[in-house]
């Protein structure tokens, strides 16, 4: 595992590269972020951001989503892939938010993961972005890059990676760190042909040594 000094250097370098460290998904209402994350499964954030404006215009309230026909929702999100399952989850999620939580997106891991289509990755993102809690969003970028850097042991299991990151990342840095992992994974540490030459994290990266 990395030394505390190396972890701090990585965090600070990423802060310099991406000062804001924001989620790439666009939303105005809390539940819109919840739905957008569901749509982003095996789909790019860019594609989701292209789809959601028309989706939210057609279904402008949580109640309208709860009353929607999943087939119609699916027509709006078709290009995101796996649209039948995603549409069903969104409609059922809207209904459960209204029935069980008064229309409010809940703020605990247990309650969030009780919602249709919501796993730990989504729940962590909601807890971090909406509730400002420490959050460890272990998506494919985060899992790949933290393994290459040596921040984790290279496990591909999201829960295992989350546990390891909780041990080394300061809680206050965790949420923005994971957002920066996504941005860095798109720009530099790509899945194929990463740009190792000139990488600002090279000196602290196990894969480049």
| Domain chopping of the chain, boundaries | 4-22+135-208, 30-129
Position 1 scores a pLDDT of 73
Residue 39: HSE in the Cβ half-sphere, 13 Å Cα cutoff: 33
Rounded to whole angstroms, what are the CA distances from 45 to 38, 52, 85?
Answer: 11, 10, 18
- Mind listing the pLDDT tens digit for each residue in 36-71? 999 999 999 999 999 999 999 999 999 999 999 999
- What is the sign, positive or negative, of the torsion defined by CA atoms of 26, 186, 183, 165? positive
Give the CATH fold of the 30-129 domain.
Answer: Endonuclease III; domain 1 (1.10.340)
Position 146 scores a pLDDT of 97
Q: Which two tokens stand for residue 79?
A: 């290009």
Position 208 scores a pLDDT of 81
Residues 6+ apart with CB under 8 A from 53: none
Instruction: Write out residues in the chain with pLDDT < 70, as ranges.
Output: 209
Give the CATH fold of the 4-22+135-208 domain.
Answer: Endonuclease Iii, domain 2 (1.10.1670)
pTM of the model: 0.93
Instruction: Give dist(CA 65, CA 158) in Å, integer.
Output: 30
Q: Do 4-22+135-208 and 30-129 fold alike per CATH?
A: no
Active-site residue list? 121, 139
- Mind listing the pLDDT tens digit for each residue in 101-117? 999 999 999 999 999 99
Instruction: Give dist(CA 139, CA 162) in Å, integer.
Output: 10
């Amino acid at each position: 595992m990395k030394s505390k000094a190396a972890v701090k250097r990585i965090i600070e370098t990423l802060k310099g590269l991406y000062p804001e460290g924001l989620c790439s998904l666009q939303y105005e209402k809390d539940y819109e972020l919840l739905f957008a994350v569901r749509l982003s499964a095996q789909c790019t954030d860019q594609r989701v951001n292209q789809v959601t404006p028309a989706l939210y215009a057609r279904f402008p309230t949580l109640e309208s989503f709860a009353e929607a026909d999943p087939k119609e929702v699916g027509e709006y999100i078709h290009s995101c892939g796996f649209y039948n399952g995603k549409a069903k989850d969104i409609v059922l999620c809207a209904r459960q938010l209204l029935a069980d939580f008064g229309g409010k997106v809940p703020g605990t891991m247990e309650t969030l993961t009780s919602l249709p289509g919501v796993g730990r990755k989504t729940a962590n993102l909601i807890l971090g972005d909406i509730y400002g809690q420490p959050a460890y969003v272990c998506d494919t970028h985060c899992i790949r890059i933290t393994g290459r850097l040596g921040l984790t042991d290279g496990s591909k299991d999201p829960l295992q990676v989350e546990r390891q990151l909780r041990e080394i990342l300061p809680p206050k840095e965790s949420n923005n760190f994971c957002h920066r992992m996504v941005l860095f994974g798109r720009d530099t540490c790509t899945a194929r042909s990463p740009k190792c030459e000139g990488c600002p994290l090279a000196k602290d990266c196990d894969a480049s040594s």
